[in-house]
Amino acid sequence: MRTGRPSARIHALMERMTLEEKLGQLSMLADGLIETGPPGPHNPFTMIEEGRVGSLLNVWGRDLIREAQRKALEETRLGIPLFFGLDVVHGHKSIHPVPLAEACSFDRALWEETARDNAIEAATDGIHMTFAPMLDVSRDARWGRIVESAGEDPLVNAEYGRARVRGYQNPGDDGFMRIAGCAKHFCAYSAVISGRDYGEVDVSQRAIEEIYLPPFRAVVEEGVAAIMPAFVDVAGVAMTAHKRLLRNVLRGQWGFEGLIISDYNAIAELVNHGVAADLCEAGVLALKAGVDIDMMGDAYNKGLPEALARGDVTLDEIHEALVRVLAFKEQLGLFDDPYRGIGRDISNGRVKRRALAREAAQKSMVLVKNDAVLPLRNPARVGLIGPMCDAPADQLGAWASAGAAEDSITILAGMRAGFASSRIVYAQGCDLKSAIYGGAEEARLAAADANVIVLCLGEERFTTGEACSRTRPELPQCQLDLARLVYESGQPVVLVLAVSRPLVLPDWLVDGAAAILICWHAGSETGPALADLLSGAVSPSAKLCVSWPATLGQMPVFYGMRPTGRPHDPNNGWSTSFLDAPYAPRWRFGEGIGYACFERSNLRTDVARVSREGVVNVSVDVANTGDCEAIETIFLFIRDPVARVTRPVLELKDFARITLRAGETAMVQFTLRANDFSYLDENMESRLDDGLIQIFVGASSRPEALQRVDVIVDASGAIV
């Protein structure tokens, strides 16, 4: 988003503003429909009247928004409209799968379409900005916020972010940006030590440049309206005051002209970080780093008047932030229509939005095991067992905005509707965290009477998301006990995992299941979507966007590791490995199967040598040799086997989805630029070497799923 030069209207307004009114515009306060951080001492409505707040978060709905806006317009000296922000992360009322789940669709068009629907629902409830997309490349399942990300790969997070920004910021029928995206948390928040939320982050400059910054650069290129710095310090420098990354890189090198909005109370928390003695020093650090809006910290309101008096900040520095805030409101059209879109009747689109929520859920659920038990062909009796069968609230996942449990269609309801000719024998068995009286017996009876059992286990929604780090991301014992009981029935078991992070699973639970479907917290339409997949109405097509650890001690584990001097070799004890755990994760990045069979052949490039400005087209033929139409995702990785620094064993450079009818073959083509083979050398300078680049194409990151073709980068410019 370009704020551009401020209009004459904004200049005239600024001429009339007092210092207090100016600092008020730089302050965002929470109102209490939901709590996303420690409650503050303030009363937002009083502060609106006093002109000491420019935006609110965590409030929505026609009446509340209209009242707050009316107060700002009619009961303040200058009548400057407010803007309203909310964490609309995976839906507002029609709740979609959590981001970690929807990322497993690898479907750029879907990501954009669901974001657009989120924006339509949020805008009619008076929301102008969503604090999304969250683009923290996540590789540690102990960190509860992994749920909000698009997984372990920088490119996937970048492509996800681009699609979300396009979907959010599409102009509505009033011609203004529907809702503004605020990409977060800039940057490297997901690398917190031990996966402990808000913990310290110590990553290399290389990791920052190659892993954590690329998704943010992508959304800046896409025109994202705002960026939110992370709570954390990175190598001792608090992100909220990180002048080099915020001013020099984000604004200077990338040319970002949008808003920088602090995270919740993060400016005030610079005092806790030990880099500011008081709110005054905290406000100075953040303002000089380029942070425009103080969310909940009240540091700008309380600290900057003194800082100005001391000469620690200038009025120009305050004006620089103020212009961006007022220009943003002008870009939203709020000076012309401060009530824009509130209460617009969108009921005629509800059926379509629910259908999209169902499609998103279908495309997010990952089938990782199927011993020929799925799809279920009209089973006479289905034992539907487990605490996630009838969990309308928990299936929505964390950050579910205004999503209501009563609007959920549960797995129980979905299975009853989807298997109308089968007898569904339901037993809860236990609740999510503890046994229930008689539950075991009820489950035993349901299991004994069934031809097949669908066992639905998982996590409570509020054990995932912010401030939900776990040292043991595992299923609760009561659920494992229930599983053992069900397995003893001897009937085939389809294990359904309704979770928001990879959980460490015991081998017996995995080995004893005839099929395993990672259904995630898949939102309002979880039930119908699951039934669609289990019945074969739709073939599963999702693939893991995050590696699934086999044990706690493996974490962090991800596909793009560096080879080391002693690459893992199962036949060589002197190679990198564990004594007490496998080297490989339980399921790798990109794994996921469906009901069709896909074969790849004829992998080729159009050139064997490419000049430094050249292009390589990589093609592969994909055949559906199965008996049903299905979607396949193909990944393209590269490896630079010899470079000035060690390079990851695989680097994802593109991915593509293709729908094929039974028996159909089609070509999938990728285009690589020679510059895609460049890297940061030992001096962190971008470099493109002559020499061999290995290109891998396949259905996942599993070595056996990949085929390789080589290309030579040739600075001499010779193209063969």
> Residue 466 or residue 640: which is nearer to ligand GLC going by CB?
466
Active site includes 336? no
Three-state secondary structure call for residue 435: strand
Q: Which two tokens stand for residue 665?
A: 């073959």
| 34, burial (CB in 10 Å: exposed 0-12, middle 13-18, buried 19+) | middle
- Asked if 233 is part of the footprint of ligand GLC (rule: CB under 6 A), the reply reads no
Distance, CA of 543 to CA of 363 (rounded, Å): 9
Q: Does 164 bind ligand GLC (CB under 6 A)?
A: no
Please report the beta strands in 581-690, taking only residues with DSSP state E, as ranges in sequence order: 598-605, 609-610, 615-624, 630-639, 651-660, 665-673, 679-680, 686-687
CB atoms within 10 A of CB 303: 28
**Considering only residues 466, 591, 632, 654, which one is a binding residue for ligand GLC as defined by CB under 6 A?**
466
Is 21 or 87 the residue whose CB approaches ligand GLC more closely? 87
Cβ neighbour number for residue 613 with a 10 Å cutoff: 9
Q: Please give the span between the terminal C-alpha atoms of the chain, in angstroms, as a whole number.
A: 42
Q: Find out whether 136 and 148 touch, Cβ atoms under 8 Å.
A: yes
Q: How far is the CB of 233 from ligand GLC (least distance, A)?
A: 15
* Sign, Cα dihedral of 690, 692, 697, 702: negative
Least Å distance, CB 253 to ligand GLC, is 25
Q: Tell how strand 691-698 and strand 630-639 pair up.
A: antiparallel
Task: Select 227 or 443, whichever has its Cβ closest to ligand GLC.
Answer: 227
Minimum distance of ligand GLC from residue 178's CB (angstroms): 19
User: From the CB of 417, what's the least distance to ligand GLC, in Å?
Assistant: 36
Which residues from 70-99 bind ligand GLC, rule CB under 6 A? 87
Judged by beta carbon, residue 466 or residue 654, the one nearer ligand GLC is 466
**Is there a contact between 87 and 182 (Cβ–Cβ < 8 Å)?**
no
Contact status, residue 158 vs residue 103, Cβ threshold 8 Å: no
| Residue 574: both structure tokens together | 């002197």
In angstroms, the CA 289 to CA 45 distance is 29
User: Which residue is catalytic, options 117, 136, 263, 294?
Assistant: 263
Check: CB of residue 303 under 8 Å from CB of residue 318: no
Helix (H, G, I), strand (E, B) or coil at 695: strand
Other Cβ atoms closer than 10 A to 336? 12
Residue 91 vs 590, nearer CB to ligand GLC? 91
Binding mask 23-62 for ligand GLC (x = CB under 6 A): -------------xx-------------------x-----
Closest CB to ligand GLC among residues 224, 711: 224
Q: How many residues contact ligand GLC, by CB under 6 A?
A: 9
The answer to the question of residue 264 lying near ligand GLC (CB under 6 A) is yes
CB of 466 to ligand GLC, least distance (A): 6
In angstroms, what is the minimal distance from the CB of 272 to ligand GLC?
14
Nearest residue to 21 (alpha-carbon basis) of 341, 316, 405, 300: 300
Sign of CA pseudo-dihedral 329, 331, 334, 339: negative
- Can residue 131 be called a binding residue for ligand GLC (CB under 6 A)? yes
Shortest distance, position 1 Cβ to ligand GLC, whole Å: 18
Q: How far is the CB of 574 from ligand GLC (least distance, A)?
A: 44
Site for ligand GLC in 401-420 (CB under 6 A): none
Is residue 696 within 8 Å of 636, Cβ to Cβ?
yes
Degrees, nearest 5: CA angle 697-700-705: 65
Look at the block and give the residue holding tokens 């395993």. Answer: 516
At its nearest, how many Å lie between ligand GLC and the CB of residue 231?
6
* CB nearer ligand GLC, residue 246 or residue 485: 246
Binding mask 234-263 for ligand GLC (x = CB under 6 A): -----------------------------x
Measured from the CB atom, is 165 or 366 closer to ligand GLC? 165
Separation between Cα atoms, residue 196 and residue 467, nearest integer Å: 8
CB 188 within 8 A of CB 212: yes
- CA-based R_g, the chain, Å: 26
Q: Which is nearer to ligand GLC, 241 or 483 (CB)?
A: 241
- Please identify which residue in 93, 164, 178, 184 interacts with ligand GLC, judged by CB under 6 A: 184
**What gap in Å lies between CA 461 and CA 464, rounded to an integer?**
6
The residues that are catalytic are 263
Which residues lie near ligand GLC (CB under 6 A)?
36-37, 57, 87, 131, 184, 263-264, 466
